[in-house]
Amino acid sequence: MAEEQADGRRDASPQQQEELNPFKIAMQQFERAADYLQLDESMRQVLKHAKRQLIVSIPVKLDGGETRVFEGYRVQHNIARGPAKGGIRFHPQVTLDEVKALAAWMTWKCATVGIPYGGGKGGVICDPKSLSRNELERLTRRYAFEIAPIIGPDRDIPAPDVYTDEQTMAWIMDTISMIRGHTELGVVTGKPVALGGSQGRAEATARGGLYALREACRVKGIELSAARIAVHGFGNAGANFARLVAADGARVVALADSHSGVYAEGGIDVQAALRHKAETNSLQGLKGAKEIAPLEVLEVDCDILMPSALENSITLANVGNVKARIIAELANGPTTPGADRELAERGVLLIPDILANAGGVTVSYYEWVQNQYSYFWTEGQVNEALEKTMRAAFDAVHAIAQQHDTDMRTGAYILAISRVAEATRVRGIFP
């Protein structure tokens, strides 16, 4: 396995240096599909540029009495097919370019699965692990107040993302409701069920990934119940996926969180891993498993790899060590374009993020619909609708990839961009 530096990054030879700016990567992916579609330059300009970018200062009074000012963003990339939709992440490495990329990916993700949203994304530069619960609440509420002019059920609907959760969404919903003088359930999704959240939303990203993976296994002739799985990232999506795929009979051989990786050739007891993580806030020290570096989980001998952490996990520096036959991206942007090309040349079936992790936004859409009509579905109804949506989206993307003799990511982008371009063409350009 490749050598790691002290900060966990891998040494890369000069020929392996590549573009890692997420927004520039998003533009490369767009241009590749736009070339297949032969989009004219005018349409490319419209679809590449974000409609709105908001930068806000967030003063927060800390528990010690001092005030600290954080920087936050909300980007709305495109609303040609409906209101903007996208998560909010709290992370020390958030940048405006990252949020712009994530907003663009949300545009294409919503179009890929055919739901009537555009793409949005938000982020705050902070280390949530260093903040108390009260400080996090004050930060969240002030951020919600600052972005309030541009969000709403018919404008832009935030949701949870990295280091945010249903409690974060509850605080945002309450803050916006106080500003507007009435309860506005549909202003965010991913809320607690008690506040209009949807049954099945918490595990929707993972479940949607599982439905897409089942289709991929059918295409590749792999029996999922006999497959070896590695999951890089053990947050909400990764942990829920590991639990669900283990229930399908698959053998989870490796897991990683931000602190450590664990490996067991004979399989990891996922329920024990979940309990250990809940008790210790880490996978480190999990009984019955060998500890390895988190990035080494990407390189273990497995049939299926689920990158479920952050961007740029699989790059030219380590793609040569990736052994999986199927990769399904539960994270946003975990694979660079250079690594994409090498995986495609090796015949690896990669389910791109804008398809593999679209279960979250799909069930967010269901939640929004339920809020709009004040009519709520059972978990069975939610999961049944999600499975139909994910299977149809996978089949459509795979058919386009086959038609154009290209990889699944480009196939997904061709499908998504064609839908957004058509909506833009029919609407026209105001004035």
In the block, tokens 């533009």 appear at: 27
What are the residue ranges of helices labelled H in 49-132? 96-112
Residues in the chain: 431
In angstroms, the Cα distances linking 55 to 34, 84, 396 are: 29, 17, 37
In angstroms, the Cα distances linking 367 to 154, 157, 271 are: 14, 11, 28
| Residue 40 burial (CB count, 10 A) | 10
Residue 267 burial (10 A CB sphere; 0-12, 13-18, 19+):
middle
The answer to whether residue 121 is catalytic is yes
Please list, in sequence order, all residues whose beta carbon lies within 8 angstroms of the beta carbon of residue 373, skipping any fewer than 6 positions away.
Answer: none
Beta-strand ranges (E) seen in 92-188 are: 118-125, 156-160
Please list, in sequence order, all residues whose beta carbon lies within 8 angstroms of the beta carbon of residue 325, skipping any fewer than 6 positions away.
Answer: 220, 222, 303, 304, 348, 349
Catalytic residue among 85, 100, 109, 121: 121
CB 140 within 8 A of CB 172: yes
CA-to-CA distance for 174 and 195, rounded, in angstroms? Answer: 10
Strand partners, 76: 52, 120
Q: In sequence order, what DSSP letters do the residues of 293-347 get, joined into one string?
A: -GGGGGGSS-SEEEE-SSS--B-TTTGGG---SEEE--SSS-B-HHHHHHHHHTT
List active site positions.
121
